[in-house]
Amino acid sequence: MNYLDIHAHILPSVDDGAKDMETSIALLEMLKEQGVTHVVATPHFYPDSDSIEEFSETVKNAFCELEELAQKKQLPKIFLGCELRYFSGMGKSRAIKQFAVQNTDYLLLELPYGAPITKTVINDIIDIKEVLGLTPILAHIERYSKVPGFKKLLKLVSDNVAQAHINAGAVISKEDARLCEKLIKGGYVSYLASDTHSVVNRPPYIKQALDTISNKLGRSAATRLTIKSNRLLEEIEGTYEEYQFNG
């Protein structure tokens, strides 16, 4: 069965993820061992400090080089996306469409850590869906559980305005395991992602997390996440053509 990891910092030397090509290949090998067949490379983009032109060129070059090598080594197929940091007014910024997961209408969105979920944030997320026609995927939603307004985020998910993923590392951690269980049981989790950055400090834990979910919540809970992953993969492949990063 296929498995799509929707959040991984595997591109070499573009952000705080893989530091070089050797690390990128090692991460892909680890993902393959864990049953991941496809992965979305999601380099960070910070609108307040990054240049779209420089980012586009750097990411395009790194992606093409890694994709070619991954194919030769029969490693997971790579798609290109981005982890886009939230900024006020983004819900009406058509420029953010270029950061969507390859040829789809799905956008991986990172919210600022520790900042309250204000009405402005909520309205921007709604506008991303209703004005821009993109489906925002809230990255590692478990990280915002103690932030004022967290329940508003959950309501966006339950109302099908947004989707959300949890990190595999959080599922197997002592600090966040119970929260992740509650989020899965509550129907707030669409995807389980690795958010891997490095082989040592932030390796992928997809298999371990799926096993933990299966043991604690039943095999059907883990199967549901795999099915959702495959449905998104079908959408990506259904619109797939040779990728050109729209800088």
Question: Domain map of the chain by residue range?
Answer: 43-50+81-238
Residue 201 has a pLDDT of 92
Residue 172's SS3 state is: coil
Burial of 71 (0-12, 13-18, 19+ CB in 10 A): exposed
The backbone torsions φ and ψ at residue 65, rounded to the nearest 5 degrees and listed phi first, read -65, -45
pLDDT at 239: 75
According to the model, what pLDDT value does residue 241 have? 54
Tens of pLDDT, residue by residue, the chain (247 residues): 899 999 999 999 999 999 999 999 999 999 999 999 999 999 999 999 999 999 999 999 999 999 999 999 999 999 999 999 999 999 999 999 999 999 899 999 999 989 999 999 999 999 999 999 999 999 999 999 999 999 999 999 999 999 999 999 999 999 999 999 999 999 999 999 999 999 999 999 999 999 999 999 999 999 999 999 999 999 999 876 544 444 4
What topology does CATH give the domain 43-50+81-238?
TIM Barrel (3.20.20)
Rg (CA), the chain: 17
